[in-house]
Amino acid sequence: KRLELDPRLASYKGIWVFVEMERGQVHPVSWELMGEGHKLADVLGVELGAVVLGGDPAETAAAGETAFTYGADVAYTVSDPILKDYRNEPYTKAMTDLVNKYEPEILLLGATTLGRDLAGSVATTLLTGLTADCTELAIDPDNRGLLATRPTFGGSLLCTIQTLNYRPQMATVRPRVMSMPDAEPGRTGRFVTEQLGMVENDIIAKVLSFIPDEDQDKAQLAYANLIVAGGRGMGKAENFKLIWDLAAVLGAEVGGSRPVTHAGWLSADRQIGQSGKTVRPNLYIAAGISGAIQHRVGMEGADVIIAINNDPNAPIFDFATYGIVGDALKILPALTEAFRSRLAVNRRAG
């Protein structure tokens, strides 16, 4: 297999990031990717493009403006009432038409339910390569190709995947894997506006209704700044009260390891790790969690990790910031109490 690029593909230039928008809300993973895309574009010396698809011209324009503040040079927008709710067919058409017309060399999407649905469809339609759930993106200095690194076998190993003689090179990245870049207010760019070229009658799938999740909080775990998590070492479901108590005092979210969600001590959407959520909080407190690689890959992006474990040799102490050796059932209430009294003092003082 040759890595040399076919001359007919040499016209593909620039890096694109898909700006995922649902019901007027841009998914933060889009800006995380914009930050990564910016770095790659600098290495290659090319433009960074934002692709914004939506149903309302004001919304798409606003998202484009925000994309500029995160580093986009150009915003490619398609605005059409047909694109109001996500549907595979019109979104795939809008994206593939844009790619075929403007020929970017790299296309990045968030590995959300929407992003994966779209990425798989676009890659197959364009007959190009797609690397899933990358944790690192870089440029190969030898051939300007994308080096997309992703965990394999539950994170025990990493592999770097390259797309050979095909363009664009596509990759998805899970939310919270890349850090959120700082916005540069006032930074501007250029708009390129295209038409969808479809009428509603062309589209077979109809959205009959949308039922929002009752517990919107759960969806927020990935973006929580403070998380208290418990593992199998908590012993039994009732002991999780200690986790919830500490979380309540801190205003934190609650998460757990896989055995805990499997046992039903916590709901499945609170699982953190390779087959759960990736989190990137400022503070992660892990109680009774051993620190297996499949858990670690979901939380090691946290700024400060505090591990509480009664085994001084638990693997989690190899990568936590602070460790407390001891019985979580005793340490947690002590921590909750300590926080409660200091917070009270500060509130009185402040």
Partner 1 sequence: MHIVVCIKQVPDSAQIRVHPVTNTIMRQGVPAIINPFDLFAIEEALRLKDKMGGRVTVLTMGPPQAEDALRKAIAYGVDDVVLLTDRAFAGADTLATSFALAQAIRTIGEESPVDIVFTGKQTIDGDTAQVGPGIAKRLGLQLLTYVSAVDAVDLDQKTITIQRRSEGGVQVIKTQLPALITMLEGTNQIRFATMSDMFRSARAEVPKWSKDRAGIEDVTKIGLKGSPTVVSKVFAPKPKAVKAQMIGVDGDTPQAKAAALLDVLTGQHPRLASELGLIAG
Ligand X SMILES: Cc1cc2nc3c(=O)[nH]c(=O)nc-3n(C[C@H](O)[C@H](O)[C@H](O)COP(=O)(O)OP(=O)(O)OC[C@H]3O[C@@H](n4cnc5c(N)ncnc54)[C@H](O)[C@@H]3O)c2cc1C
Distance in Å, CB of 243 to ligand X, minimum? 12
Distance in Å, CB of 191 to partner 1, minimum? 25
Distance in Å, CB of 192 to partner 1, minimum? 26
CB nearer to partner 1: give 192 or 301.
301
Q: Is 161 in the site for partner 1 (CB under 8 A)?
A: yes
Q: Which does 233 bind (CB under 5 to 8 A by kind): partner 1, ligand X, none?
A: ligand X
State the pairing for strand pair 169-173/130-131: parallel
Instruction: Select the span of 60-68, 71-79, 159-167, 190-198 touching partner 1 (CB under 8 A).
Output: 159-167
- Residue of 143, 140, 120, 115 lying closest to 130 (CA atoms): 120
The H-or-E segment that residue 77 falls in is strand 74-79
Q: Is 25 in the site for ligand X (CB under 6 A)?
A: no
> Reduced to 3 states, what is the DSSP secondary structure of residue 172?
strand
DSSP state of 272: B
Distance in Å, CB of 58 to ligand X, minimum? 37
Using CB under 6 A, which residues numbered 156 to 175 contact ligand X? 159, 161
Among 26, 119, 305, 328, binds ligand X (CB under 6 A): 328
Using CB under 8 A, which residues numbered 53 to 112 contact partner 1? 85-89, 92, 112
Cβ contact 278:172 at 8 Å: no
Taking phi first (over 0 means left), then psi (-120 to 50 degrees means alpha), and beta for anything else, what does residue 264 get? Answer: left
Instruction: Select the span of 57-65, 71-79, 190-198, 200-208 touching partner 1 (CB under 8 A).
Output: 200-208
Task: Render the burial of 288-306: b for 16+ CB within 10 Å, e for the rest.
Answer: bbbbbbbbbbbbbbbeebb
Cβ contact 15:48 at 8 Å: yes
Q: Which does 259 bind (CB under 5 to 8 A by kind): partner 1, ligand X, none?
A: ligand X
Q: How many CB atoms lie within 10 A of CB 78?
A: 24
Using CB under 8 A, which residues numbered 210 to 229 contact partner 1? 210-213, 216, 219, 225-226
Map residues 206-245 to x or -, x wherever contact with ligand X holds by CB under 6 A.
-------------------------xxx------------
Distance from C-alpha of 236 to C-alpha of 275, rounded to nearest angstrom: 22
Q: Is 274 in the site for ligand X (CB under 6 A)?
A: yes
Positive or negative, the CA dihedral 132, 136, 141, 144 is: positive
Residue 91 sits at the vertex; the CA angle it makes with 77 and 193, to the nearest 5 degrees, is 15
Instruction: Select the span of 33-41, 173-181, 196-204, 291-299 touching ligand X (CB under 6 A).
Output: 291-299
Q: Is 208 in the site for partner 1 (CB under 8 A)?
A: yes
Among 56, 117, 194, 245, binds partner 1 (CB under 8 A): 117
Instruction: Select the span of 9-17, 37-45, 98-106, 327-335 touching partner 1 (CB under 8 A).
Output: 327-335
Cβ contact 87:22 at 8 Å: no
Q: Is 60 in the site for ligand X (CB under 6 A)?
A: no
Q: Is 154 in the site for ligand X (CB under 6 A)?
A: yes
Give me the torsion for CA of 59, 199, 74, 113, rounded to 10°. Answer: 70
Instruction: Select the span of 7-15, 41-49, 113-121, 188-196 touching partner 1 (CB under 8 A).
Output: 113-121
